[in-house]
């Protein structure tokens, strides 16, 4: 059921270039987290540091009781088996068909027989909807299929932790929605701890349990989704609102005079929009690590933006949630596919938020 990653005081430099310093955060076991930040703030470097492909100058990356930067090569090799990584371009071998690409970690890291390898590969290909494409080369399939093949390959060793570096880059919005649903379903099914690096604001708003934001070599904020989506912090508001006004400039950060000029003009990064309901697995069941809507806001006395937690059918999930969970927990009527786009009658289980979109 997933492994916690605890990052403490992590600093990474390349020569004199400080990428980020003193970064501390926890990726709770079995939860989905998203890491945001302007281009070049070191998100990919962060992922690579978590799996020990890059060594930090200072700090710790605890995976269970193992501190990744301090592991010997052999221990690191063992610890990496806990990870499944989806690199930006899928990182498939161009000369191998999809079957062999996905089978690669099994042939490399296990002594499994070919029959067993075939069973596992086909199971993962089915999970990501690629059955029938086993014989295709990466160059013969679309970008979205390559992402899904990369995800299948990341899954073959049954990882406890899944790292996804911009899984949505180059995908159209509909394919991104499918991929998001796939990630949520995977988390529900295997309980892995998941970290997604993305620039897609809709993904950040609807998928994760937690969000972190890197800027100016610091982790500006990291915490539950509702904390970031209701934040007053200008950098967070500017980033989530995708606006030019605010501390983030074209080349990383604006200087003081630019910010003063913006303030004089009355410019502001803007208010954050209503918080959407969080995506549920497509079978409608609540993930074990998923918090009820509004839980963080209530616990911290924060009023969300008006219209929060209302889905595309106009249902308010703050009110809907207790009834929904009660219906699900007695196992009555749990849909195995996204529900129909209808208003549920009394006693019926409504389709989950986002489920009708996926
Ligand atoms: N191996 C390396 N050697 C030297 N510098 C590197 C290396 N890898 C990354 N960098 C530098 O680290 C910085 C952060 O890069 P990184 O790819 O992590 O950014 P990012 O936040 O993932 O960007 P994007 O959102 O555009 O993908 C960049 O300035 C990059 O040039």
User: Which ipTM did the prediction report?
Assistant: 0.97
User: Is the confidence at residue 182, as pLDDT, over 50?
Assistant: yes
199-207 average pLDDT score: 94
Q: Answer with the residue of higher pLDDT: 286 or 261.
A: 286
243-268 average pLDDT score: 65
Mutate to test the pocket of ligand 1, among 34, 37, 43, 251 (most ligand atoms within 8 A of CB): 43
User: Is the confidence at residue 256, as pLDDT, over 90?
Assistant: no
CA-closest candidate to residue 272, choices 298, 300, 297: 297
Mutate to test the pocket of ligand 1, among 19, 196, 219 (most ligand atoms within 8 A of CB): 19
CA-closest candidate to residue 209, choices 17, 32, 24: 32
Residue 26 pairs in a beta bridge with: 6
State the pLDDT at residue 144.
82
Tell me if 34 sits within 8 A of 203, measured CB to CB.
yes
* Pocket lining: 169 vs ligand 1, CB cutoff 6 Å: no
State the pLDDT at residue 258.
67
Residue extents of the structural domains in the chain: 5-215
* Distance between Cα 14 and ligand 1 center (Å): 9
User: Cβ–Cβ contacts within 10 Å for residue 162, how many?
Assistant: 24
Tokens representing 167? 């899984």
Span 65-74, pLDDT tens digits = 999 999 999 9
User: Is the confidence at residue 305, as pLDDT, over 80?
Assistant: yes
187-193 average pLDDT score: 92
* Distance between Cα 46 and ligand 1 center (Å): 9
The band of 251, judged by pLDDT with boundaries at 50, 70 and 90, is low
pTM for the structure as a whole: 0.86
* Distance between Cα 181 and ligand 1 center (Å): 28
The band of 355, judged by pLDDT with boundaries at 50, 70 and 90, is low
Q: What architecture is domain 5-215?
A: 3-Layer(aba) Sandwich (3.40)
């Amino acid at each position: 059921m997933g492994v916690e990653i605890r990052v403490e005081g992590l600093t990474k430099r390349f020569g004199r270039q400080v990428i980020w310093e003193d970064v501390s955060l926890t990726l709770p076991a079995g939860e989905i987290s998203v890491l945001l930040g302007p281009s070049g703030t070191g998100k990919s470097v962060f992922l690579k540091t978590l799996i020990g492909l890059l060594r930090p100058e200072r700090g710790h990356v605890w995976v269970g009781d193992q501190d990744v930067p301090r592991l010997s090569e052999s221990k690191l090799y063992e610890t990496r088996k806990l990870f499944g990584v989806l690199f930006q371009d899928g990182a498939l071998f161009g000369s191998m068909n999809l079957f062999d690409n996905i089978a690669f970690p099994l042939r490399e890291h296990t002594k499994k027989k070919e029959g067993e390898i075939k069973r596992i590969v086909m199971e993962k290909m089915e999970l990501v909807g690629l059955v029938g494409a086993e014989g295709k080369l990466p160059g013969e399939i679309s970008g979205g299929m390559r992402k899904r093949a990369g995800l299948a390959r990341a899954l073959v060793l049954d990882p406890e932790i899944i790292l996804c570096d911009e899984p949505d880059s180059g995908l159209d919005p509909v394919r991104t929605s499918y991929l998001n649903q796939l990630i949520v379903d995977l988390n529900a099914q295997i309980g892995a701890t998941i970290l997604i690096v993305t620039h897609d604001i809709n993904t950040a708003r609807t998928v994760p349990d937690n969000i972190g934001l890197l800027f100016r070599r610091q982790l500006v904020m990291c915490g539950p989704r509702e904390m970031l989506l209701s934040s007053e912090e200008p950098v967070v508001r500017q980033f989530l609102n995708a606006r030019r006004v605010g501390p983030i400039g074209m080349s990383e950060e604006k200087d003081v005079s630019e910010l003063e000029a913006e303030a004089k003009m009355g410019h502001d990064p803007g208010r954050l929009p209503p918080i959407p309901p969080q995506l549920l697995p497509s079978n409608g069941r609540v993930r074990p690590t998923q918090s009820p809507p509004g839980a963080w806001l209530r616990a911290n006395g924060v009023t969300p933006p008006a219209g929060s937690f209302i889905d595309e059918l106009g249902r308010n999930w703050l009110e809907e949630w207790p009834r929904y969970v009660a219906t699900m927990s007695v196992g009555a009527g749990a849909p195995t596919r996204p529900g129909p786009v209808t208003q549920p009658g009394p006693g019926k289980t409504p389709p989950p938020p986002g489920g009708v979109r996926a």
